[in-house]
């Protein structure tokens, strides 16, 4: 149990994962809910038929983005969560999978069949599909070329919301300057320009600003109320362990916003007040995976709780509400490492945060959306028996399943990544990592601990970093306007549907704002 006390905020919350997500949080809370039968099917039907059509005007929007949270990731994570609770797992639902409306989302960039996070999040934030690697800049602009990029800058959902009186915030477990959170407030042709030391010579000559600089001087200056995440190194000079060449942006933040709050630890978060703007930098780079997190860092649920308390207090006596973007970032990083354990446990951690946000809000005025920016190459196969350990070897009732070389194999694997057959066994062993099955060279034994948190699933082709996938991702929604999130959607349409629900006034890009 973790206790979060925010003095000056609305309440004291006791956060305990066990109470956030239960296997039958909609139907009767009984073990039978894990054994789908005719009666449970009828109960589910009654629940759906009793659901009323939501309104079309949302006062608030909470958008959860699971970075790299593919549909296979959802399936595997729901099974793992159910198994962690002592059930077979297949019948479980992640918290947001109970939402009444869902659909599929196409994820391609304008120049790539398999997308990256910069282009996909920019589509969600601006309503315009654009190139891989660029942040809230139109598709006319080449990546990493500063010249002319300001003429193709696209207004983001948070910027529109701030301009029209909404309180706004962004929360992430990645660096706050990383591609997905940066797309909410920054405009740059290169996602990697996080600190001024990352800028190219051409960018400096043409006057492009790095992302951290844009957060301080544009994001907060234009109404952003809070930003919580990692990435402290991009705000500090080298003399303080950072990457900057010019100045200490944390000092500048405190000077420019004397009423603001700079948070550097979990203790800072739990003792903060609702006074904005708020900048939370809880790690030098990315924040820890959920499995590896120490008490020094807040969890995603704790950051979600704190952000909602601030924004709710900011807007309690106003006509307009708030827009909050929350990223479960490290799902993506674990997939890149070919490490299903951390990808799934971070997915569960995000589902817990969604459940908590759902409890803090109501369906009458708050639209909650849960989606992903892109998929990964994680696959789920092998004919495992019902209730088989989702991280384990494939088993049938009386035996292990075996490949042609007589070695066992796992249910989960990747199309590419670290666990392929051209890894040097000596190097792999020396690295201290547990790699996946390598056909004919490193055989798994029948008692292989494939559920070890450091295990790397097998992959077809070797890459130091597993790639994204190109398949559709899911969107789940509840609250006013949620009925529009169904069917097969273009990714940029999420912006337009959310804007319509909030009654935001937006406009098509002009000659000086994309084309």
Catalytic residue list: 117
* 338, two tokens: 């070919």
Q: Give the whole-angstrom CA distance, residue 221 versus residue 6.
A: 25
Length of the chain equals 515
Q: Give the whole-angstrom CA distance, residue 498 versus residue 368.
A: 10
Q: Give the whole-angstrom CA distance, residue 28 versus residue 30.
A: 6
**Which 8-state DSSP code applies to residue 218?**
I
Q: Which of these, 173, 143, 151, 147, lies nearest to 290 by C-alpha position?
A: 173
Q: Half-sphere exposure of residue 411, counting CA atoms within 13 Å on the CB side? A: 24
* Distances from the Cα of 199 to the Cα of 11, 144, 187, angstroms: 43, 9, 14
Q: Find the distance separating the first CA and the last CA of the chain, reported in whole Å.
A: 51
Q: Give the whole-angstrom CA distance, residue 278 versus residue 265.
A: 13
Query: Do residues 115 and 470 touch, judged by C-beta distance below 8 A?
Result: yes
Query: Do residues 406 and 400 touch, judged by C-beta distance below 8 A?
Result: no
Q: Which of these, 498, 170, 158, 480, lies nearest to 310 by C-alpha position?
A: 170
H or E stretch at 309: helix 300-315
**Beta bridge mates, 160:** none
Q: How many CB atoms lie within 10 A of CB 398?
A: 6
């Amino acid at each position: 149990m973790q206790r979060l006390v925010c003095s000056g905020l609305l309440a004291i919350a006791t956060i305990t994962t066990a109470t956030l997500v239960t296997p039958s949080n909609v139907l009767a809370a009984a073990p039978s809910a894990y054994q789908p039968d005719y009666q449970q099917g009828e109960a589910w039907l009654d629940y759906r038929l009793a659901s009323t059509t939501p309104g079309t005007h949302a006062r608030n929007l909470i958008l959860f983005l699971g970075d790299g949270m593919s549909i296979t990731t959802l399936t595997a994570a729901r099974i793992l969560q159910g198994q962690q609770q002592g059930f077979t797992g297949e019948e479980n639902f992640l918290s947001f999978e109970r939402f009444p409306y869902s659909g599929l989302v196409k994820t391609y960039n304008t120049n790539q069949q398999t997308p990256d996070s910069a282009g996909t999040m920019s589509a969600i934030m601006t309503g315009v599909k654009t190139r891989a690697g660029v942040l809230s800049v139109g598709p006319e602009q080449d990546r990493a070329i500063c010249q002319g990029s300001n003429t193709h800058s696209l207004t983001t959902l948070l910027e529109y919301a701030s301009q029209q009186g909404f309180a706004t915030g962004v929360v992430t477990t990645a660096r706050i300057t990383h591609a997905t959170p940066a797309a909410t407030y920054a405009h740059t042709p290169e996602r990697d320009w996080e600190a001024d030391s990352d800028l190219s010579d051409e960018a400096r000559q043409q006057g492009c600003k790095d992302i951290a600089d844009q957060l301080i001087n544009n994001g907060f200056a234009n109404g952003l109320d809070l930003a919580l995440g990692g990435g402290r190194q991009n705000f500090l000079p080298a003399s303080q362990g950072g990457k900057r060449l010019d100045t200490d942006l944390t000092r500048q933040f405190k000077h420019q916003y004397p009423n603001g709050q700079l948070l550097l630890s979990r203790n800072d978060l739990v003792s903060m007040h609702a006074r904005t703007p708020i900048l939370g930098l809880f790690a030098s780079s990315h924040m820890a995976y959920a499995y590896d997190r120490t008490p020094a860092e807040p969890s995603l649920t704790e950051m979600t709780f704190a952000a909602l308390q601030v924004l709710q207090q900011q807007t309690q006596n106003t006509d307009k509400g708030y827009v909050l973007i929350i990223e479960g970032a490290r799902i993506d990083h674990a997939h890149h490492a070919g490490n299903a354990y951390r990808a799934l446990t971070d997915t569960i951690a995000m589902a817990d945060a969604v459940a908590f946000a759902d409890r803090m809000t109501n369906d009458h005025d708050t639209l909650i959306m849960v989606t992903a920016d892109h998929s990964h190459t994680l696959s789920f196969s092998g004919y495992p028996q019902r209730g088989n350990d989702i991280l384990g070897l494939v088993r049938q009732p009386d035996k292990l399943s075996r490949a042609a070389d007589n070695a066992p194999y796992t249910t989960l694997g990747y199309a590419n990544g670290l666990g392929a057959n051209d890894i040097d066994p000596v190097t792999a062993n020396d690295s201290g990592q547990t790699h996946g099955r390598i056909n004919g060279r490193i055989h798994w034994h029948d008692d292989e601990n494939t559920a070890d948190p450091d295990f790397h699933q097998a992959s077809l082709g070797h890459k130091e970093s597993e790639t994204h996938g190109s398949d559709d991702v899911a969107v789940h929604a509840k609250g006013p306007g949620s009925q529009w999130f169904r069917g097969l959607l273009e990714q940029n349409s999420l912006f337009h549907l959310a804007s319509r629900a909030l009654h935001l006034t937006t406009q098509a890009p002009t000659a000086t704002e994309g084309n």
